[in-house]
Amino acid sequence: MTDVHRAAAEGYARGADTYARGRPGFPPEALDWLANDLHLGPGKSAVEIGAGTGKFTSLLVRTGADIVAVEPVAAMLARLSAELPAVRTLRASAQDLPLAPASADAVICAQSFHWFAGAESLAEIRRVLKPGGMLGLVWNVRDRSVDWVDALARLVDVHEGDAPRYDDGEWRAVFPAPGFGPLRERTAAHAHTGSAEQVIVDRVASVSFIAALAEDARRGVLDEVRALIAATPGLAGHPAVSMPYLTKMYWCRAGGQ
């Protein structure tokens, strides 16, 4: 199996439970995207690469399609299997998929494509897609137009090191991609509501490069996050808060159409 970036291998191995608690689900528009733009439904097959703990997999199951969830980090895959025991799982990387050629109607990468955006993984995705099959990419992106969300992001970003991220935009450099049509895009507003400890502190703790920090450093970051919450009137003392997101959905067709 191709090496996984250290931040992902270490951070997600340590933080699978925190990831499951702190990461949001996806808005109703994502289910519409799967049905109407990726054409998934009963009788179709989909491969999810970088499936993590199954946050997006649970939405894929609702389409009625046959799902294969692929994830390289054992702890994340174990959590997914516990939550969704009926879903077929494979421990593998995007660059080496143990799947037959032309076997999938769609390949989905939720919160993951930035980790493996490159010619090798796209060639492998193209190999397993049927002619005319769809590649879908989706991310929940924190809405930094909100002041406290921007302040939170700045606390986190100083620790990112060389970890690839959606925000750096480098994943876009692989498009237009050989064998694929133009990349299309749609956006939906979304929010994760719960206690501040769950939707803010656990969300930060679930970031790969934060989870991979030495324990004292990790605790220091989370203490800074709690201090930000305490200093923000719209958050401090509230039993439930909402973390605002923009859900970014992209898709293109194999075969260049």
Quote the pTM value. 0.92
Q: For residues 52 and 50, what is the distance between their CA atoms, to the nearest angstrom?
A: 6
Task: State the pLDDT at residue 21.
Answer: 81
Task: State the pLDDT at residue 227.
Answer: 98
Task: State the pLDDT at residue 222.
Answer: 97
User: Which residues of the chain carry a pLDDT beneath 70?
Assistant: 1-16, 256-257
Q: What is the DSSP string of 116-163?
A: H-SHHHHHHHHHHEEEEEEEEEEEEEE-TTSHHHHHHHHHHHTT-TT-
What is the H or E stretch that residue 233 is in? Answer: none
CA angle 145, 149, 154 (to 5 degrees): 105
Distances (CA, A) of 116 to 4, 125, 248: 9, 11, 18
Task: State the pLDDT at residue 188.
Answer: 98
To which residue do tokens 């997101």 refer?
245
Give me the domains of the chain, ranges plus CATH numbers: 6-142+164-190+244-253 (3.40.50.150)
Distances (CA, A) of 148 to 140, 142, 151, 165, 197: 17, 11, 5, 20, 15
